[in-house]
């Protein structure tokens, strides 16, 4: 009775979670064990094939390429660039005057609040053969390139950095604003310079925010689809085909729903592993802080 009184208020949210999250996950896992297709006989009468779709990944030469591209995309554009740039911008804004801080904040956040489809078209227009980047290079006398064809991953990585840095910036801006000013003043009195104060005072205080931010941007970037699809559609060929793009192509371009579901399940497992690692790191950090 006490249990019912305590948890009945969250029952609607639990039902919605099961319907819209747990249900699709279970369906995707079941679909990955079948030969379901988008058209044809298997679209109506799919058969259970066990681990055949997962075994196919070991012989599919494009799957390891997609895994590698996903690792590069997440590592460079999120874990390194967005995280560090967000930190740098947040620190600089905390020391800038109000006018400059507001201008930079609006400029950075503008890219983040754009719908991903709009941001994708904007980046496509920037990097395309007749786009803004080549127009600028032409004015200053440098050679022009078809960036989306010659360097597709470079283009989508820069686009994701441009769009996603604001999220890290806002997280770090809020965390830095909560740092006890007396700690900073004490470090200055002890003779520490700005860099030493930041490394030995600010960073230890905001470690939990750093880990939380890393977890969020890692999972967000790993599942990025629209931005890449609008800019390159995973091409040319498979040169920018990350796992979400590859799963989409397998399921809806080549009609193999079963194999596409298997790729999606692998993505889910990888994301869960990252989530567990980050959550354990957060718990360990909280334990150290409490001690």
The reported pTM is: 0.88
Cβ neighbours of residue 277 under 8 Å, at least 6 residues apart?
A: none
Q: What percent of the chain has pLDDT over 90?
A: 37
Q: What is the spatial distance between Cα 213 and Cα 211, in angstroms, rounded to a whole number?
A: 5
pLDDT band at 161 (very low <50, low <70, confident <90, very high): very high
Q: Where are the beta strands (DSSP E) in 159-252?
A: none
CB burial readout 207-216, b (16+ within 10 A) else e: bebbbbbbbb
Predicted local distance difference test score (pLDDT) of residue 249: 92
From 109-123, 218-232, 271-285, the region with the lowest mean pLDDT: 271-285
Second-level CATH architecture of 58-290: Orthogonal Bundle (1.10)
- Length of the chain in terms of residues written: 291
Instruction: Tell me the longest C-alpha to C-alpha distance in the chain.
Output: 77
Sign of the C-alpha dihedral, residues 239, 245, 247, 250?
Answer: negative
pLDDT in tens, 163-195: 999 899 989 988 988 888 888 888 888 888 888
Q: What is the average pLDDT value for the chain, to the nearest integer?
A: 86
In the three-class reduction of DSSP (H, G, I as helix; E, B as strand; rest coil), residue 92 is classed as: helix
pLDDT band at 80 (very low <50, low <70, confident <90, very high): very high
Predicted local distance difference test score (pLDDT) of residue 225: 93
Contact at 8 Å (CB) between 230 and 117?
yes
First and final CA of the chain: distance in angstroms? 37
Q: What is the spatial distance between Cα 150 and Cα 159, in angstroms, rounded to a whole number?
A: 16
Q: Is the peptide bond before 117 cis (omega within 30 degrees of 0)?
A: no
Contact at 8 Å (CB) between 231 and 62?
no
pLDDT in tens, 23-79: 888 888 998 999 988 888 888 888 999 899 999 988 888 999 999 999 999 999 999
pLDDT band at 279 (very low <50, low <70, confident <90, very high): confident
Q: How is residue 117 written in tokens?
A: 């489809």
Q: What percent of the chain has pLDDT over 70?
A: 95
Domain boundaries, the chain: 58-290
> Per-residue pLDDT averaged across 203-229, rounded?
91
Question: Which value, in Å, is the radius of gyration of the alpha carbons in the chain?
Answer: 23
Q: Is the pLDDT of residue 98 over 90?
A: no
> Per-residue pLDDT averaged across 238-257, rounded?
92
Q: What is the spatial distance between Cα 3 and Cα 218, in angstroms, rounded to a whole number?
A: 36
Contact at 8 Å (CB) between 217 and 211?
no
> Per-residue pLDDT averaged across 73-102, rounded?
88
Contact at 8 Å (CB) between 61 and 246?
no
Q: Is the pLDDT of residue 214 over 80?
A: yes
């Amino acid at each position: 009775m006490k249990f019912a009184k305590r948890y009945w208020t969250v029952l609607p949210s639990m039902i919605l979670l099961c319907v819209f999250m747990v249900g699709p996950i279970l369906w995707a896992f079941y679909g990955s064990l079948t030969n379901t297709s988008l058209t044809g006989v298997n679209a109506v009468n799919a058969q259970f094939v066990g681990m055949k779709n997962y075994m196919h990944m070991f012989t599919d030469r494009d799957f390891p390429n997609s895994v590698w591209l996903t690792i590069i995309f997440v590592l460079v554009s999120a874990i390194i660039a967005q995280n560090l740039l967000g930190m740098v911008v947040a620190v600089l804004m905390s020391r800038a005057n109000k006018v400059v801080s507001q201008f930079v904040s609006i400029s950075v956040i503008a890219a983040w609040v754009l719908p991903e489809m709009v941001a994708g078209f904007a980046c496509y227009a920037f990097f395309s053969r007749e786009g803004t980047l080549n127009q600028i290079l032409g004015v200053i006398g440098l050679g022009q390139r078809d960036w989306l064809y010659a360097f597709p991953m470079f283009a989508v990585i820069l686009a994701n950095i441009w769009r996603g840095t604001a999220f890290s910036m806002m997280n770090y801006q809020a965390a830095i604003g909560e740092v006890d000013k007396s700690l900073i003043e004490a470090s200055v009195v002890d003779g520490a310079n700005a860099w030493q104060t930041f490394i030995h005072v600010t960073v230890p205080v905001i470690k939990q925010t750093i880990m939380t931010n890393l977890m969020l941007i890692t999972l967000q970037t790993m599942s990025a689809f629209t931005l890449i699809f609008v800019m390159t559609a995973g091409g040319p060929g498979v040169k920018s085909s990350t796992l979400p793009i590859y799963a989409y192509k397998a399921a809806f371009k080549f009609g193999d729903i079963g194999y596409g579901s298997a790729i999606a399940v692998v993505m889910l497992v990888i994301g869960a592993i990252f989530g567990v690692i980050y959550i354990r790191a957060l718990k360990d950090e909280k334990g150290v802080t409490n001690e």
